[in-house]
Structure 1
Amino acid sequence: MFNNYIKIAWRNIKANRLFSLINIIGLSIGLAIVILLFLFISHEQSFDTMFSKKDRIHRVLVETDGDFGYETWATAPPVVASSLQKEVTNVEKAARMLKHDFGGTASLRVNNQNFTEDRFYWVDKELLSIFDISILKGDKENALDRPNTVIISETTANMYFGNDDPVGQVLLVDDSLKLEVTGVYQDFPENSTLDADVMASSNGYWFYENRSWSNSSFETYCLLKNNVSFESTLIQMNHMLDANVSQEDQWYSLSLQPLSKVHLYSASFGNTYTSRVGDINEVRNLGYLAVLILLIACMNYMNLTTARSQKRSKEVGISKTLGATSQSLIGRFYMETGLITAISMVLGFFLAIMVLPAFNALTDQEINIDLLLTGEFLAVLLMIWAITTFLSGIYPALYLSRFLPKQILSPSLKQDKGNLVVRKGLVVLQFAASASLIVGVLIIYQQTQFIQNKNLGFAPENVMAISVRGLRGMENRSAMLQELKSLTDVTSVAMAQGYPSIDVSGRSLRKNESEEHGLNIQTNVTDSEIIDVLNLKLLAGQGLPAHKSEGDTLVEVVLNKKAVDYLGFTPDEAIGKEVYIGVPNIIVGVVDDFNYESLRQPIGAYAFHNNTSEGKSYMLVRFKTGNISNTLSGLKAAFNKVAPNLDFDYTFLDQNLEKFYAREKRAGQLSIVFCILAIFVAALGLFGLAAYTAEQRRKEIGIRKVLGASVATVAQMLSKDFAKLVFIALLFGFPLAYWLMETWLEGFAYRIHIQWWVFVVSAIIALGIALLTVSFQSIRAALINPVKSLRTE
């Protein structure tokens, strides 16, 4: 019987090539998308599963109070790790990670060659056992015990030392600190949150014995003991905090984040160092999109199969007359569905393999094709095939198998209203989904363009940030400043701790020293030319003084308007006033607000100051537009002249800002691609239905043409019913799209407002696609010779 079902199914597929082809193409595209998106989701969910103690590893989080905006930070104070090991009985081990220069890059000199390393971390030795990091060369037990030692990844070792043995070699960091290589460790895989290429021992480094409960800059991981309660550990941690920090000084609380949630549930956290941060919302949205496209493809199958029910009715009636049961017919129809979905699955599988490189480029991932060939994934494919077969075949199988022999010649079958309502309902659902996708793509595109074109309050174009962390001594820094200023393409240069789009120092702004609560403010130590370099708008006063006498302890500050508003002054009134930002400051200038963070965040308080207690890590250079290549060569030559032992490490401010919106840009690109594919699949089904409708009304069309009907009249007659369905779909799809996109836009502090014309344009696009699809078949049917249409079947 099974073989017989396969033969019948194959004959039906061959006998109805057009409809079978439409079904197979639609399902193949849908399944290919599902396979690709499932690969992406599986890759995102696989993060950190390679660590044997993953279920016991947690990251310490800091949850700030109102002074710091009730934010959650992925970094903790330096004393937290050692206190956890000593005072929290549930904790077995704890370790800190500090990215070099609080998130900056390191300049390394190896064998007379300069390198820039942006994944350089200072770590506690306990980290190696918490994450069971595999040491390939060197002392596995004591690799980071001694001060001034470092271990490097296998890839980094090959880049720095080639075929030479790295163990015992020396790295010169920032032209000042020599580190001995004591080991080479296996590269962290792409699905690991830890991304370090160089890990230096914290032993002997400045924060090693630091007992501060402030300066929350250290990513801290702890390993819980076996069979201890997560909740009881949190209680012990809060007791630890209370025992060491007075209530009035507690501007934060501590919590734990399981390692399994670090990758996907940290997108909104501040102060994270890893370059591999996912977003659970993106994963969910792509999952919903995959299901939606697959459902559209399944609806196509149901629609086309039930539309051809009249032709299948005789087959069902004869089979039942000869003794076939409804169950056996259901099995037969499901076999046909299963065969079509199996063919589609194979085609979709190979289609997914073909487009995987393009998909990786689109999603900025490195998903390996080998994942498609694992037993686990093949089992998932089998499950997807079963679900697709069930969804696609459930209604056609139940509908077709219920025909009775006596109904075969009954005209009521031709006018089965229930079947017609279901088919129309499926068309409405398909185009409601398509219309929603069109609206979503237009709004995502608008928001992305709004972000890219918004006036940020400063001019990031033609500004370069050059790292000078390793440049020691004011004499060398002054020499570098003069060399850069002497270039003809350079208009202004400022030394600064940081620049918009990167973290600087977070403090509290207070009106006076006795004020209990203040306002979170970002502070950036810099010099007098910062206003010119960033092209900030000066509202009152002047910039920082160009010269500061030796021994002068007065701290001048330039505040933005947000900070001045908090203080209760107008910009002019603020000049000369004293404020407290850690230490007393005198306001010498006020600049207009500018967006120094992502546009997802509202503008906060910001201060430029000249407190000599902090260092300046960058030279910010504004240059003239023109030949960027020549300008870059000149800047590099000037840099190398002063600092031959440092690597020329630079970034353009406008390019750095784009990283903020990489996720939105990626979401927009994915939405456009998958929206086009979803609409194509829906249009494919509509094409099949139009072809079948034209075939059913073939004689009617012939009679109308004989009586004088034009091609346009016939095309209009066949198209108007589908146009009505699309209009109904828009009524359902647009409210859903509005709600979904309003929810998405709420994540931005600066956003567009959804305009009415978006829905008009979407309606025109959806209706145009539908009419274009249907009209092709309608015109084709109208052009057929009436003599052929009126021939006896």
Structure 2
Amino acid sequence: MLKNFIKISWRRIKADKTFSFINILGLSIGLTITILLFLFVLQERSFDTMYANKERIYRVIFNTSEERNNEVWATVPAALKPAAAIEIPEIQKSARLWDHDFGKTASIEANNQQFTEQKLYYADAEFLDIFQPEFIYGNSKSALERPNTIVISESTAEKYFGKTNPIGQMIGIDNKQKMEITGVYMDFPANSSLDGNMIASFNSIGFYDDPTWGNASFETYFLLNEQANRTQVTKKMQQLVDANVEKEHQWYTLSLQPLEKMHLYSSDIKSAFSSKTGSIEEVRNFSLLAILILLIACINYMNLATARSQKSTKDVGINKTLGASSKILILRFFTETGFVTLLSIFLALIFTVLAIPFFESIVGVDLSTKFLWSSEFAIALIAIWMITTLIAGSFPAFHLSKFSPMEVIRSGTNKNSFTAILRKGLVIVQFSASVILIISAIVIYNQLEFMRNKNLGYNPDNTVAISIAAVNSEREMQMLRNEFESLSEVSSTTMTQGFPGISVSGRSLYRNMNSDEAMSLQTNRTTGGIVETLQLKLLAGKDLPATKQEGDSIVDVLLNKKAVEFLGMEPQEAIGKNLIAQLGPNAYVIGVVDDFNFSSLRSPIGGYAFNNGFEPLQYMLVRFESEELPATVEKFRSKFAEVVPSSAFDYTFLDKNVEQMYSRDRRTATVALIFAGLAIFVACLGLFGLAAFMAEQRTKEIGIRKILGASITGIIGLLSKDFVKLVFFALIIAFPLAYWFAYKWLQEFVYRIEINWQIFLYAGLIALLIAITTVSFQALKAAISNPVNSLKND
């Protein structure tokens, strides 16, 4: 019986090629998008599942107080690890991780060649015990026990030393430190939050012997024993803080984040080292998008199936007259739907394989094709097939099969029938979903344009940050600065610890010596020229001095307006004031600049201070004017090589760094725009098929109207007006839902657009225009046909 049903299904597909093509294509596109988004979700949810002890690995999280905006950091004090290892018996292993020079690019000398490395970390020896990376050369148990030892990834070893075993080779870091290679490990998988290419021994860094509770700069991981209770460990960590930090200085608490939550639940956590932070909101949004598009595709199928079902009502009546039961007919309709869905899935899998490279390029994630052959994907595909078959085949299966033979045979094409009403309802739902996608895409695009064009309070254009971490002396730095300033393209330079968009030092600013009230203050050691180079607006005072005498203990500070407001002063009033901000006893304000967005527009502007203190200078900021960018960069490279021949040239454009902060939002916008377009295309396929069906059903009516003098325009209007009404109903439903979704998404940004009524107008006009254009094609075809052909059978 099932074999016969499949044969009947295939015959029906061949007999009605137009409807079958639209059905299968629309469903295939919807399934392709669903599969691609499902692969992305699988990839994101697979992060960090490869570690043997994943259920017992936790990262310690640093939660700041309300005075510091309740920020959450991934870095904690260095003293926590040794104290917790002794005082908390539930901890089996513990390890700290430090990003080289607080995230700065390292200059590497290996095999008499110069390289740059962005993923160099320092870690306690237990780090390798906790995560157990697979070693190709060396012994993971002892590889990081000695100072000045380092382990490197397989790809890094090949890059530096070719195919040879590099154990025992020496590499230089920043022209300051020599490290012995003691191991080579297999590259961390693409779906691992750990992304280190090089891991050096923690006891190689200078402050290893004197860990403190006041400087939160280290990611710290615990491997708990099997009987450990997470809540109890958290309480014991707080007891350690109470025992070592005075109450008035306790501006933070500590908590534990499971490894399995690290990738998707860290988008709001600051100072995390991994470059592969995901977002649970993005996963949820993409999952919702997949459901919406699959729903549109299923509705598309149901609409066309109900339209086609009216052609087969007599067939159903005959079958019931000959003794076919409702159960048999239900099985037949579900078999037909399942057969079409199965064909669509096979076609969707082909589309998916072809589309993966394009999809990877827009989401910025390498999808592992192994998921296509995994049991999870197979189960999900079967589930999608069954759900799609159930949804798409439910109406013809349950509605038509329940009628009596005479009722089915006599059923006409009454426009007020349940079938017709259902079709209209499905069109409304379909276009509501499409309009929601259109509005969401427009809102995301407008927000990104707003962020791209917003005045940040400084000018990142035509400014390059060149790494000078490997420059050995202040004299060499000044020589390099002079060489850059000798170029005609260069208008100003400065040397800094960091620049807007990257992390610098975090300190606390107090109102006065006797106050416990403080605000978080980002401090950035800088030489003179910062105001001109970043084109900051100076509100009072002056820029930092060009030079500082050796032995001068006074720290000159350039505060932003936000910090001055916290002090309760006007900009001019703050000049000359002694600053209590952990910059030493002799820190004085010499200038005030207007507020600028030194972080993402998702965050409010906080306190910021440029100063000429004592932290290392890491970058040369160079402002230039040139239309020949490659030639200008080559000049910078040449000047750098003259002064620092033993270091690799590494640079970053400030405007590109700003763009990078919103890469995830651009990705969401691109996916929304492309898939909204595809969803509308699928909806139009269904509308096109329905318009063709309606025109076919009303062929004789159109012929009579034409004979009685009806114009082509009038007939097009007659056939189009019902669909236009449905689109208007869809807009009424879609607008409030789209507003709610857009409003929720925009709340993630401190600086955001207003949801303008024009967005809804444009979306409505787009949906209306698409619907009219789609329907009008079929209406015009019917209107210009010869009326004789439609009436000759009567």
Q: Specify the TM-score bucket, using the shorter chain as the normaliser.
A: over 0.9
- Superposition deviation, residue 544 in structure 1: 1.2
- Superposition deviation, residue 140 in structure 1: 3.3
- Superposition deviation, residue 211 in structure 1: 2.4
Alpha-carbon distance in 2 for matches of 1:751, 1:630:
38
Give the total of aligned pairs: 792
- Superposition deviation, residue 564 in structure 1: 1.2
8 Å CA contact 2:575–2:589 kept in 1: the answer is: yes
Alpha-carbon distance in 2 for matches of 1:509, 1:557:
12
Does the alignment pair 1:592 with 2:597? no
* 1:289-331, Cα deviation, whole Å (9 max, x unpaired): 0011001111111111112333221111111111111011000
Alpha-carbon distance in 2 for matches of 1:51, 1:670:
31
The residue aligned with 1:605 is 607
Alpha-carbon distance in 1 for matches of 2:227, 2:417:
62
- SS for the counterpart of 2:679 is helix
The residue aligned with 1:289 is 289
What root-mean-square deviation, in Å, do the aligned CA atoms of Structure 1 and Structure 2 show? 1.2
Structure 1 residue identity aligned to 2:543: G
- After TM superposition, list the pairs within 5 Å mapping 1:83-94 onto structure 2: 83-94=83-94
- After TM superposition, list the pairs within 5 Å mapping 1:293-312 onto structure 2: 293-312=293-312
Structure 2 residue identity aligned to 1:607: A
The residue aligned with 2:534 is 534
8 Å CA contact 1:135–1:186 kept in 2: the answer is: yes
Alpha-carbon distance in 1 for matches of 2:210, 2:347:
60
- Superposition deviation, residue 412 in structure 1: 6.1
- SS for the counterpart of 2:216 is coil
The residue aligned with 1:758 is 759
Does the alignment pair 1:699 with 2:700? yes
Does the alignment pair 1:709 with 2:724? no
- Superposition deviation, residue 164 in structure 1: 2.5
- SS for the counterpart of 1:92 is strand
Alpha-carbon distance in 2 for matches of 1:325, 1:500:
73
Structure 1 residue identity aligned to 2:148: N
- Superposition deviation, residue 684 in structure 1: 0.7
The residue aligned with 2:479 is 479
8 Å CA contact 1:97–1:121 kept in 2: the answer is: yes
Alpha-carbon distance in 1 for matches of 2:461, 2:204:
41
Q: Which of 283-292 and 417-426 deviates more? A: 417-426
The residue aligned with 1:681 is 682
- Superposition deviation, residue 630 in structure 1: 2.0
- SS for the counterpart of 2:739 is helix
- SS for the counterpart of 1:34 is helix
8 Å CA contact 2:317–2:409 kept in 1: the answer is: no
- Superposition deviation, residue 123 in structure 1: 0.6
* 1:306-358, Cα deviation, whole Å (9 max, x unpaired): 12333221111111111111011000000000000000000001000001000
8 Å CA contact 1:78–1:207 kept in 2: the answer is: no
Q: Which of 346-355 and 629-638 deviates more? A: 629-638
Alpha-carbon distance in 2 for matches of 1:239, 1:576:
41
Structure 1 residue identity aligned to 2:290: A
* 1:246-283, Cα deviation, whole Å (9 max, x unpaired): 21121110000000000000001000111100000000
The residue aligned with 2:623 is 622
8 Å CA contact 1:306–1:400 kept in 2: the answer is: no
Does the alignment pair 1:738 with 2:742? no
8 Å CA contact 1:556–1:609 kept in 2: the answer is: yes
Compared CA separation, residues 650 and 314, structure 1 to 2 (3 A) = same
Structure 1 residue identity aligned to 2:462: N
Alpha-carbon distance in 2 for matches of 1:28, 1:649:
47
Structure 2 residue identity aligned to 1:590: V
Alpha-carbon distance in 1 for matches of 2:632, 2:306:
68
- Superposition deviation, residue 214 in structure 1: 1.5
Q: Which of 707-716 and 669-678 deviates more? A: 707-716
Q: Which of 390-399 and 717-726 deviates more? A: 390-399
Structure 1 residue identity aligned to 2:499: Y
Structure 2 residue identity aligned to 1:604: G
- SS for the counterpart of 2:662 is helix
Alpha-carbon distance in 1 for matches of 2:48, 2:743:
34
Q: Structure 1 regions of 5+ residues with no counterpart?
A: none
Structure 1 residue identity aligned to 2:620: M
The residue aligned with 1:771 is 772
* 1:150-169, Cα deviation, whole Å (9 max, x unpaired): 11000000000012221111
Structure 2 residue identity aligned to 1:638: K
Does the alignment pair 1:29 with 2:29? yes
Alpha-carbon distance in 2 for matches of 1:9, 1:547:
85
Alpha-carbon distance in 1 for matches of 2:141, 2:741:
54
The residue aligned with 1:378 is 378
Compared CA separation, residues 412 and 687, structure 1 to 2 (3 A) = closer
Alpha-carbon distance in 2 for matches of 1:135, 1:167:
12
Alpha-carbon distance in 2 for matches of 1:36, 1:413:
40
Alpha-carbon distance in 1 for matches of 2:115, 2:11:
67
- SS for the counterpart of 2:133 is coil
Structure 2 residue identity aligned to 1:595: N
- After TM superposition, list the pairs within 5 Å mapping 1:506-655 onto structure 2: 506-582=506-582, 583-584=584-585, 585-612=587-614, 614-655=615-656
Sequence identity percentage:
49
* 1:529-570, Cα deviation, whole Å (9 max, x unpaired): 111110111111111122323322122111111111111211
Structure 2 residue identity aligned to 1:572: Q
- Superposition deviation, residue 477 in structure 1: 1.8
- After TM superposition, list the pairs within 5 Å mapping 1:35-54 onto structure 2: 35-54=35-54
8 Å CA contact 1:88–1:240 kept in 2: the answer is: no
Compared CA separation, residues 411 and 169, structure 1 to 2 (3 A) = closer
Alpha-carbon distance in 1 for matches of 2:465, 2:416:
72
Does the alignment pair 1:727 with 2:728? yes
- SS for the counterpart of 1:690 is helix
Structure 2 residue identity aligned to 1:30: G
Structure 1 residue identity aligned to 2:330: I
- SS for the counterpart of 2:710 is coil
Q: Which of 50-59 and 304-313 deviates more? A: 304-313
8 Å CA contact 2:521–2:606 kept in 1: the answer is: yes
- Superposition deviation, residue 409 in structure 1: 4.5
* 1:118-156, Cα deviation, whole Å (9 max, x unpaired): 000011110101001111102332111111111100000
The residue aligned with 2:259 is 259
Q: Which of 180-189 and 394-403 deviates more? A: 394-403
TM-score (norm 2): 0.98
Q: Which of 541-550 and 323-332 deviates more? A: 541-550
* 1:154-193, Cα deviation, whole Å (9 max, x unpaired): 0000000012221111101101111011110010000000
The residue aligned with 1:334 is 334
TM-score (norm 1): 0.98
Alpha-carbon distance in 2 for matches of 1:708, 1:299:
37
- Superposition deviation, residue 415 in structure 1: 4.9
- Superposition deviation, residue 196 in structure 1: 0.2
Structure 2 residue identity aligned to 1:578: N
- SS for the counterpart of 2:166 is coil
Q: Which of 281-290 and 540-549 deviates more? A: 540-549
8 Å CA contact 2:451–2:601 kept in 1: the answer is: yes
The residue aligned with 2:345 is 345
8 Å CA contact 1:143–1:182 kept in 2: the answer is: yes
- Superposition deviation, residue 410 in structure 1: 3.2
8 Å CA contact 1:67–1:518 kept in 2: the answer is: yes
8 Å CA contact 2:90–2:227 kept in 1: the answer is: no
8 Å CA contact 1:492–1:532 kept in 2: the answer is: yes
Structure 1 residue identity aligned to 2:627: G
Alpha-carbon distance in 1 for matches of 2:612, 2:67:
23
* 1:84-121, Cα deviation, whole Å (9 max, x unpaired): 21111111011011010011111001122100000000
Alpha-carbon distance in 2 for matches of 1:271, 1:128:
22
- Superposition deviation, residue 416 in structure 1: 5.3
The residue aligned with 2:95 is 95
Alpha-carbon distance in 2 for matches of 1:422, 1:227:
57
Compared CA separation, residues 415 and 511, structure 1 to 2 (3 A) = closer
